[in-house]
Structure 1
Amino acid sequence: MDRDEESLKRRIRRLRELEKNGRLRAVNGTLADVWREGSEPKTVRLRHSFVIRRPDVVEEPPAAQLLNPRGVALRFYLLALFEAQCRLAPGAQWTGGDRPFRGRRGWNAFIAVDVAYSSTTDTYARALERTQETKRIRQVKGALLTLEGLGEQALVEIPLKRGGKYRDHQAFRLMNETGRGAAALTPDYYTVPPVDKQMIEIPIDFLLQGWVQVLHPSEIFTWLSFRLLSAHFPARHRLSGNYLYAKKREHFHLLRDSWEDSCQTLVEFGLLRRMPTIAEATAARATQGIFGILFPQSGGLGGREDRYEPYRYQLTDKGLAADALETCMKELLIRLKRQGR
């Protein structure tokens, strides 16, 4: 994560480069065009099995295996689902269409990455756009290989070209959120999910405002877990927020440090709101009666100290309407300044 100064500066450096070269604005523009030319969905629907494992299995859910902080596999899979749901009706099986890898509407144009950075010189080399596009395509192909390499939970299939020697990345096929399954001859190809309250709903601004581009995979995963919790426990989410005890986090395969750090970052970015604990609400109620109405105490803590009570959070979807790059830059610079004290 970005709590140490070196990783924080690296993240800020990448965002500054995306701001300077206009890459993120271009990507957001491409995604907006794809959305407008399609069915203009208000949300992208995601099956729960992508982020939480079933009680009868021990494998990590697919999303939990895509948390490499420098990888783009999780991001690309969500963007591919976005593209599919803009183009296909509910119930339709994935078809790759004729989208190329190159060009302004190609798959390379769906992701914003700083491919021009040289670790040797610690500078950005101003390469030709064609060269940078080739590097972005390499990133996309790497993401496809990662998504294919999850065994029975593989999220894409990359066929071989005629002759069986080279992979045909252009002809990749998407799998459903659970993965291809154990039956090699009948892979579970992706179908657009129905409009169903049991789906995880990703507001379209998460993609069109650039949040999917600037958040780390662990932050995206944590945010998705809150979307699942809010869908399953809507009343609790509205009243006091959702939380995950350690035992419950195991179903998501979320590590404690990653979970807590991601929650804090999402709060700073305006995508989550930390709700008062029972102890905080009780203390506030002594001086502000309104807290007793807003945060009623539904049950005692059995005499435990407040430090044993988990923090609860609410999603703040209004924050998604903000420009992701601008918001993240502002908050990360504040964090860097705070750490330098």
Structure 2
Amino acid sequence: MTNITPTVRVERRIRQLRDADPHIAKAVETVSRIAGKHEDPIRIRNVYVRRDTPSPSGSDRKQPNREDRPPATRLVTPRGSLLRFSLLTLLEAQTQTPAGDRPKNRRNLLSSGGSDLGWLDLLPSITRVNKPDNRFSSVRPEEKMLNQLQSSIDNLASPQNELLRLAPRHGRQKHAGFELLHEGGRRATGDNVPYTVPRAGDGDTFDIPITLFTNGWVYALTESELAFLLVCAYQQSRKGPDGWFRMTGDERIHYHGLGPDAFDRHQFLSSMGLLEVEPHLSRGAGGQVFKYKSPDPSTGGRRSKKGLIPHALKFLASGFEKPAVHTVLDALE
């Protein structure tokens, strides 16, 4: 296997984001039309990002098994778009349906033309180009996009996730009219229940700014970065908009399902104004620990006898008011 250096990885991301920029702009225009005059934040139930009980798997160096993570981190894959599409279904439901009601999915997968907007219009119309000898190379780009959309719907509706329910139809028609289910996803016993739009003030929810969608952040960030920001938004909701929060390793791993790679993105996200980071004196800016000692069991692993404390973080909703693609490119370059 060829090792990819961080420099090569960054250069590739810059190139891909530049190529995607005009396609993301079209998707953002669609999202903005769907959102209309809706300026309220999008409310997400806590169970989307946090387990009620600690996961039975996972360690300091390894994420819990996928089935042991909450939906937001379970959906993250290196080249996938499941978390992105899941978030877009929540945006669509909340901008089209009154709080407390169950959304009715009347949106077609494909636009019927004119001003009609289909689900496919919410996705940037860019796909990887196959090599000339690839047996799928003759497939048209719009057909590839539709195949990817249907695959995302199938995955979200799978028994492992249960975030959508397919319509009782056959073949490709089963994807049209899918039903949105509770964002807690797969339950330990019984089927998942239909989704209802959360009400303002519900105690089991947290907010994300609608500008995460209307300024293109949902497309410009990686899914790992999106998952980490969702967790930070949840943590911030527990402290209030002006408070700081600290996330212990145990909570990050066993309750949120975040691995070390995702958490390490806090510096990059901070450089774009999406987070504020206050390193603890026992740590360097990159998170390394000076004179580390093993955690003291009497504190549940929260701090060592040397006073090891995690960074203090703050989720900045105002940071999402900037255009995403240009901001991410500036930070990468």
Indicate how the Cα distance of structure 1 residues 146 and 57 shifts in structure 2: closer, same or farther if over 3 A, else same.
same
- Corresponding residue for residue 18 of structure 2: 16
User: Structure 1 residues 251 and 56 mapped into 2: Cα distance closer, same or farther (>3 Å)?
Assistant: closer
Structure 2 runs not aligned, ≥5 long: 57-67, 284-302
**Pairing 1:81–2:75 present:** no
In structure 2, the residue matched to 1:47 is 45
Deviation at 1:33, TM superposition (A): 0.8
User: Does the Cα contact within 8 Å between 1:62 and 1:177 map onto a contact in 2?
Assistant: yes
Counterpart in 2 of 1:183? Answer: 190
Name the CA distance, whole Å, in 2 between partners of 1:57 and 1:313. Answer: 24
Question: What is the CA–CA distance in structure 2 between the aligned matches of 1:177 and 1:154, rounded to whole Å?
Answer: 9
Distance in 2 between residues matched to 1:254 and 1:302, nearest whole Å:
21
Write the distance in 1 (CA, Å) between the matches of 2:131 and 2:325. Answer: 23
**Normalized against structure 2, the TM-score is what?**
0.79
How do 1:27-66 residues align onto structure 2 when only pairs under 5 Å count? 27-36=27-36, 40-55=38-53, 59-66=68-75
Aligned counterpart for 2:227 among listed residues 221, 225, 229: 221
- Residues 169-199 of structure 1 show CA distances to partners (whole Å, capped at 9, x for unaligned) of 1121111111254434xx4011111112532
Task: Decide whether the 8 Å contact of 1:90 with 1:194 is kept in 2.
Answer: yes
Contact 2:159–2:186 under 8 Å retained in 1: no
- Name the SS for the 2:117 alignment partner: coil
Residue 302 of structure 1: CA displacement? 7.8
1:148 aligns with 2:154: no
Asked if structure 2 preserves the Cα contact closer than 8 Å seen for 1:271 and 1:319, the reply is yes
Corresponding position of 1:287: none
Q: Among 160, 166, 179, which residue is 1:158 paired with?
A: 166
- Regions of 4+ moved over 4 Å: 164-167
User: 1:332 Cα deviation (Å)?
Assistant: 1.0
> Aligned AA for 2:38?
E
> Structure 1: how far apart are the matches of 2:125 and 2:74?
21
Q: C-alpha displacement at 1:98, in angstroms?
A: 3.6
**Correspondence for 1:112:** 124
- Which protein has the bigger helix share? 1
CA distance in 1, matches of 2:221, 2:45: 21
Cα-to-partner distance string for 1:306-329 (whole Å, 9 max, x where unaligned):
xx3321111222221111000011
Using the TM superposition, give the Cα deviation of residue 95 of structure 1 relative to its aligned residue in structure 2, in angstroms: 1.3
User: Which residue in the other structure is 2:110 paired with?
Assistant: 101
Name the structure 2 match of 1:244.
247
Cα-to-partner distance string for 1:190-231 (whole Å, 9 max, x where unaligned) = 111111253210111110000011111111111011111111
What count of residue pairs does the alignment treat as equivalent? 291
Give the direction of change, closer, same or farther, for the CA distance of 1:9–1:189 in structure 2 (3 Å limit): same
Residues 94 and 189, structure 1, Cα contact 8 Å, conserved in 2:
no
Identify the residue that residue 4 of structure 1 maps to in structure 2. 6
SS in 2 for 1:230: helix
* Whole-angstrom CA distance in 2 between matches of 1:272 and 1:84: 27
Name which one, 1 or 2, has greater alpha-carbon Rg: 1
Deviations 1:98-130 (A, max 9, x none): 433245611111122531534679xxx9x9xx9
Of the candidates 161, 166, 174, which is equivalent to residue 168 of structure 1?
A: 174
Partner Cα distance (1:309, 1:57) in 2: 22
State whether residues 218 and 226 of structure 2, in contact with CA within 8 Å, keep that contact through their aligned partners in structure 1: yes
- 1:52 & 1:100 partners in 2: Cα distance? 31
Contact 1:72-1:139 at 8 Å conserved across structures = no
Are the equivalent residues in 2 in contact too, given 1:93–1:190 (CA < 8 A)? Answer: yes
C-alpha RMSD of matched pairs (Å): 2.7
3-state DSSP of counterpart to 2:331: helix
Identity %: 24
Q: Provide, for residues 138-167 of structure 1, a one-character-per-residue CA deviation record: whole Å limited to 9, x for no partner.
A: 22112112212243x411112342xx5556
Q: Which residue matches 1:332? A: 332
The whole-number CA distance in structure 1 between the counterparts of 2:110 and 2:83 is: 18
